[in-house]
Structure 1
């Protein structure tokens, strides 16, 4: 049992989100509707700005007037935690792979980069639902895809809802969650929008609601998040831009670095108080200028391949992390004066990253100063041992994470549940072996600090509970085979049953062999982390055309086929049934035809 979650009043740290201890500056409070628009005025609402293509209000809906390329309109204000909903309809598409949806974070003027949640008109395709980014280079980065329960098609309203907490988001299609991500790229001031590519769309009933931030602690049963210690320091020189970028690319939700200030007050990134171990220079950082420190090669000691990697400034690391989706776990090395701590925190603030940085330290005075100087930046307490009462200690320093050594924590595993129950996350350091990862996961820790970020992320994937989705068109007609879309993650095997009988999902469903009425598909995914299942229901719809196709394809004698079709065309369904009985069809086909004719006749 982990906790009753405490919810902080800024964006969450978990899964790459940041948290804070003071109320958000936004005027809206959690639960407040920030945008509600039904387009009843007949004109574009104030603050809605077309940035590509032509947009107008017509018939009480927002529309783009032609299916152009990347038609976009922006609106609203920046929120970290929100739910954005709208009813979206494809009026026409240039082809079934065209798409439209909600822009979740974009500059008000529509410039790159931006993040979006979109659907294709053929939304049952394996990539029918997407989270994607338009990058600074005007290229696409599709981070997550899934299939919808049914095709959006054209002329059909779909209720789209996207719930966002920092870089974490979930995608809901007509009330069903179909996709989640932890990789949503966010900015400090991005707003909302709608987008369409190769599609003419209608949008109505737009609602944006501010949400309560997620708790810093992980949900019950979740595997620990990855903290890349000094960056991905097993594959790149510690505390360099190369190591930070490697940690981000490895999927680490947190990237940990060490910061301290030079003689002239510039925060630089290095673990030791001296530059001797990881550079060719000598001397204490506090006695050197920033120019002297940042000119030093910090990569050659690790490998000639990293020659030329300089000691980075904190500002350079912040720039790299800001749009990555990861959170920076920033250790302030002690002792630092209050003025030096302030300079480090001011650097975080000047980059607009108070919600994407967690400051930690062994130095208690550093934490006291940080809390006084920048109360909006969340704090973590580093400990070599576990305090007698870790909850009381954590509360005394006002921290959101308590980060002891793993060896000490494993002698007191009960401390994890105590801290989690108080809303305080636990992130032990520095663990590089899978056996200990397993012990810490069993203890319920929220994240693990490791030199081997990629390996931990891979271990977690191998031990994560699998997920699976399955979709098929909601109505099938006798003469149209239907593809089954199955998507699974963290699964070693996936099986699919139709009404309890196992089938090959790669083979389209053949409605000619199915009874009229309701059917159910169930997909079961099995992996190292357990099993998961999902279902999709559909209905085989009966009509005269379907019976004609079944009769025509059966290959019976031409005169008997002609007799049955003549009765069908005349609406003589009882006579058609009698002719079916005399025709000598295969027993299963005869059963289906007679049942269909009875339904058509209303019996």
Structure 2
């Protein structure tokens, strides 16, 4: 059995800032999540065509901005002008897409922690992992708790490991494919982040025997959260910042 490394992160993590209460992956969302008492957040990071790391979940811009096309194929000068708030509500009209650096500086200044999901545009997996890890290593240099880097893409985690091996990594899984444990171990991951429905006592035990922390996404119902608490998993990523009490 591999010993579990120290885990400095809280159990409760706010998904994309404040879940659905504010436009996801905007600074307004993270501020709202913090106002509800959450102290760790999850975000999605990808690369612009000219190498700027910015926050966006989808490959395309249509769902959460007034832009069109593949986000990673556009320069930051274009992306920075987009409205990433009006799709959610008039209250947030004009809210811009933030850079990872802007979010990092806000988190560090306020003592908040961050889970950065590396969300590469298809075909840029390794380059995005390297860029995110390099930027994170620079911005969090000297901080007591670094960000947790996660991804569904092994190539992105491999790139991150090459650039900043000291930053903790987690493998995201939507289903348990053959060889998942070997992949996590080869990438030097310290955590497994699964669709919450995958976790049971056997999987928790297997992960812990391998020295992996156990995190879940996206947990929005009380019964699901209670089940994960009974399994004593390490992290719960949720949209429901208004429902769950992260201090409880």
Task: Say yes or no: TM over 0.5.
Answer: yes
1:417-436 equivalences in 2 (<5 Å): 417-436=205-224
Deviation at 1:405, TM superposition (A): 0.6
**Is 1:342 the equivalent of 2:130?**
yes
1:14 alignment partner in structure 2: 9
Contact 1:252 1:454 in 2 (8 A): no
| Aligned counterpart, 1:362 | 152
More strand by share: 1
Q: Distance in 2 between matches of 1:408 and 1:13?
A: 24
Cα distance between partner residues in 1 of 2:203 and 2:39: 23
Indicate if the aligned counterparts of 2:4 and 2:213 stay in contact, CA closer than 8 A. no
Unmatched 5+ stretches in structure 2: none
The CA distance in 2 between the partners of 1:311 and 1:305, in whole Å, is 16
- Preserved contact between residue 414 and residue 443 of structure 1 (Cα < 8 Å): no
- Pairing of 1:236-255 with structure 2 (within 5 A): 236-255=22-41
> 1:47-82 CA distances to partner (integer Å, 9 max, x unpaired)?
xxxxxxxxxxxxxxxxxxxxxxxxxxxxxxxxxxxx
Determine which structure has the larger helix proportion and give its number: 2
Q: Secondary structure at the match of 1:319?
A: helix
Q: Distance in 2 between matches of 1:457 and 1:386?
A: 30
- Aligned residue number for residue 440 of structure 1: 228
SS at 2:28's partner residue? helix
Aligned residue number for residue 195 of structure 2: 405
Instruction: Choose between structure 1 and 2 for higher RCO, CA contacts under 8 A separated by at least 6 residues.
Output: 2
The answer on 1:375 being equivalent to 2:132 is no
Structure 1, residues 428-450: CA drift from partner, whole Å, max 9, x if none? 11110101111111122111111
Aligned 8 A contact 1:417 1:444 in 2: no
**Runs of 5+ consecutive residues of structure 1 not aligned to the other structure:** 16-224, 462-603
Corresponding residue SS for 1:291: helix
Q: List aligned pairs for 1:10-89, cutoff 5 A.
A: 12-15=7-10
How far apart are 1:347 and its partner, in Å?
A: 1.8
1:318 equivalent to 2:108? Answer no
RMSD over equivalenced CA pairs, Å: 2.1
Provide the residue aligned with 1:169 in structure 2: none
**Do the aligned partners of residues 397 and 4 (structure 1) sit closer, same or farther apart at CA in structure 2, a change above 3 Å counting?**
closer
**Matching residue of 1:305:** 91
Partners of 1:251 and 1:454 within 8 A in 2: no
Provide, for residues 375-395 of structure 1, a one-character-per-residue CA deviation record: whole Å limited to 9, x for no partner.
011101000113557544422
Query: How many residues matched?
Result: 244
Note the C-alpha offset of 1:337. 4.3
Instruction: Kindly indicate whether residue 184 of structure 2 is the aligned counterpart of residue 394 of structure 1.
Output: yes
Contact 2:18 2:32 in 1 (8 A): yes
The runs of at least 4 aligned residues of structure 1 exceeding 6 Å deviation read none
Post-superposition Cα deviations, 1:528-549, rounded to whole Å, max 9, x if no partner, equal xxxxxxxxxxxxxxxxxxxxxx
TM-aligned CA deviation for residue 6 of structure 1: 2.6
CA distance in 2, matches of 1:286, 1:394: 27
**Shift, 1:361, TM fit:** 0.4
TM-score under structure 1 length normalisation: 0.39
**TM-score, structure 2 normalization:** 0.90
Is this contact kept in 1: 2:2–2:211, CA < 8 A?
A: yes
Cα-to-partner distance string for 1:471-508 (whole Å, 9 max, x where unaligned): xxxxxxxxxxxxxxxxxxxxxxxxxxxxxxxxxxxxxx
State the distance in 1 between where 2:133 and 2:217 align: 23
